[in-house]
């Protein structure tokens, strides 16, 4: 399974800034051949990312979607709208969406089905609220994952993002903990989705270029989902090149950072 390394910009980067970011990033990762890369801009900047990234090896996508294909849902964005913009990935279930908009596991499951219906891949975020014993975490994740039983495993990515490791001032979870938890997620996939399913399980939560190598060294980690540190395209390029289980991808990134907000 190829490593999957991507970033969600959250509510950062205007269309103009997104275009500049992508133009800075492209030459820094042109030698990355052994892993897949993606960026998830805010809705208003997806078109700008598409204009720069079209024809490259970097995919783009969105951070949320409405389960219905159309209708009276003021301010919402549908899966066919995202597919029309060439999106490959759509993130759902982030803890901020669950907290701020009351998104439930059932709502997340409906979003996933809409994403699959339009030929895109769903990145489903799961994670416990507070540090807890592993058995408690298994139960918590099991409840979140159960909603994915009807998902298409070929179009599914699971992002383990412990809520306590997200946000300013937080630190990435210990690599051994990440490895253990993500191992249990793989076990759930094998038992509930299919023994032959190869669903990538990636880690997100205060990842940067200094913590990425230790996390990627865990056999159960299939990639990284980077937040605020990737608002600098040079830092994201460093993470994209990071050594993974003894393999260094391409050359080290070294270029001035583009101006970003956030």
Quick one: which of 179, 245, 251, 172 has its CA closest to 213?
245
Q: Is 133 exposed, middle or buried (0-12, 13-18, 19+ CB in 10 A)?
A: exposed
Residues that are catalytic:
94, 161
H or E segment and range at residue 90:
strand 89-92
Residue 51: in which H helix or E strand, if any? helix 46-53
Give the Cα separation of 109 and 193 in Å (integer): 14
Distance CA(194)–CA(120), nearest Å, equals 20
Could you read off the pLDDT tens digit of each residue along the chain, which spans 262 residues? 899 999 999 999 999 999 999 999 999 999 999 999 999 999 999 999 999 999 999 999 999 999 999 999 999 999 999 999 999 999 999 999 999 999 999 999 999 999 999 999 999 999 999 999 999 999 999 999 998 988 999 999 999 999 999 988 889 999 999 999 999 999 999 888 876 678 999 999 999 999 999 999 999 999 999 999 999 999 999 999 998 766 667 654 444 344 333 3
First-last CA distance in the chain: 33
Domains delineated in the chain: 3-240 (3.20.20.70)
């Amino acid at each position: 399974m190829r490593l999957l390394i991507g970033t969600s910009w959250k509510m950062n980067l205007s269309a103009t800034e997104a275009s500049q970011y992508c133009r800075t990033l492209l030459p820094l990762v042109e030698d990355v051949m052994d892993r897949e890369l993606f960026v998830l801009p805010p809705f208003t900047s997806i078109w700008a990312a598409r204009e720069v990234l079209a024809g490259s090896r970097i995919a783009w996508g969105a951070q949320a979607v409405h389960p219905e294909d159309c209708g009276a849902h003021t301010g919402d964005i549908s899966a066919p709208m995202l597919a029309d913009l060439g999106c490959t990935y759509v993130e759902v279930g982030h803890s901020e969406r669950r907290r701020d908009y009351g998104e439930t596991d059932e709502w997340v499951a409906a979003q996933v089905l809409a994403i699959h219906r339009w030929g895109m891949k769903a990145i489903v975020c799961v994670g416990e609220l507070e540090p807890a014993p592993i058995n408690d975490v298994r139960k918590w994740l099991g409840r979140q994952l159960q909603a994915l039983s009807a998902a298409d495993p070929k179009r599914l990515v699971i992002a383990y993002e412990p809520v306590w490791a997200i946000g300013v001032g937080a630190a990435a979870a210990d690599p051994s903990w990440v490895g253990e938890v993500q191992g249990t997620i793989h076990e759930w996939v094998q038992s509930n989705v299919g023994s032959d399913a190869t669903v990538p399980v990636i880690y997100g939560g205060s990842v940067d270029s200094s913590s990425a190598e230790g996390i990627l060294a865990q056999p159960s980690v299939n990639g990284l989902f980077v937040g605020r540190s990737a608002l600098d395209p040079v830092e994201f390029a460093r993470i994209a090149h990071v050594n993974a289980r003894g393999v260094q991808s391409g050359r080290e990134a070294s270029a001035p950072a583009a101006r970003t907000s956030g």
